[in-house]
Chains A and B, each alone.
Chain A
Amino acid sequence: NAGVTQTPKFRILKIGQSMTLQCTQDMNHNYMYWYRQDPGMGLKLIYYSVGAGITDKGEVPNGYNVSRSTTEDFPLRLELAAPSQTSVYFCASSYSGEANQPQHFGDGTRLSIL
């Protein structure tokens, strides 16, 4: 099993450009999450999904959009990139939202907006 796979690993964008961060998991997990991690800070939840076709906002959703057309894929879309979106983005998945179902993370996408 590959687990959670994120692409690309690195990306540099210019202000105002758009891009999609890809995330796919092969564990048949129902729940998927997008976090961002700024230097020296903890993770902040951007969006999450409890199943295909269902998404909801986390604590920092502004400037981002998501879709969940399949169980495996949960792409994150940045529209009109801004310097404040420079961060490391982690995708995670879990079987359910229960506390005894831990989240499993990808290796992240390091994004710089210049």
Chain B
Amino acid sequence: LAKTTQPISMDSYEGQEVNITCSHNNIATNDYITWYQQFPSQGPRFIIQGYKTKVTNEVASLFIPADRKSSTLSLPRVSLSDTAVYYCLVDRGGAGTALIFGKGTTLSVSS
């Protein structure tokens, strides 16, 4: 599976837009890019997934350039409750294929 690299930590203020970029240089043709959010003492929560171009849902947007070697998670107008660890994963699918969570990006939102 393609290894992912993302910043260890980011700081922001309430109301700002936050963009977290993840690199995945060795992504394969059939891989999807998936982002999870995790709060302390909780399980990872699925945020968004994409294959190429742009995907948007009620929580976030995901931008994927044509070469798919990176992706950017965009969180509009963050609040204090968005303080969490964000994980970028490359998902190949397949029964028995475990998801690989790296260290993630710890986002701290201040007032």
Contacts and interface: CB of A to CB of B under 8 A. Distances in A.
B98 A45 contact: yes
A44 B92 CA distance: 16
B41 A100 contact: no
A111 to B, nearest CB: 14
A99 B42 contact: no
A48 B42 contact: no
Contact of A44 (B31, B44, B98): B98
Contacts of B42: 107-108
Contacts of A67: none
Given A42-B101, A99-B30, A56 B96 contact: yes
Q: How large is the interface on B (under 10, 10 to 19, 20 to 34, 35 or more residues)?
A: 20 to 34
B102 A105 contact: no
Nearest to B33: A99
A35 B36 CA distance: 16
A35 B91 CA distance: 16
A58 interface: yes
A59 to B, nearest CB: 7
Per DSSP, chain B at the interface is: loop
B49 A43 contact: no
Contacts of A56: 95-96
Given A97-B97, A102-B46, 9 more contacts: A4-B43, A6-B43, A35-B98, A42-B102, A43-B100, A44-B98, A45-B96, A97-B95, A100-B32
Interface of A: 4, 6, 31, 33, 35, 42-45, 48, 50, 56, 58-59, 90, 92, 97-108, 110
28 contacts: A4-B43, A6-B43, A33-B98, A35-B98, A42-B100, A43-B98, A43-B99, A43-B100, A48-B95, A58-B96, A90-B44, A92-B43, A97-B95, A99-B30, A99-B32, A99-B91, A99-B93, A100-B49, A100-B93, A102-B91, A104-B46, A105-B44, A105-B45, A107-B42, A107-B43, A108-B41, A108-B42, A108-B43
Interface of B: 30-32, 34, 41-46, 49, 51, 91-102
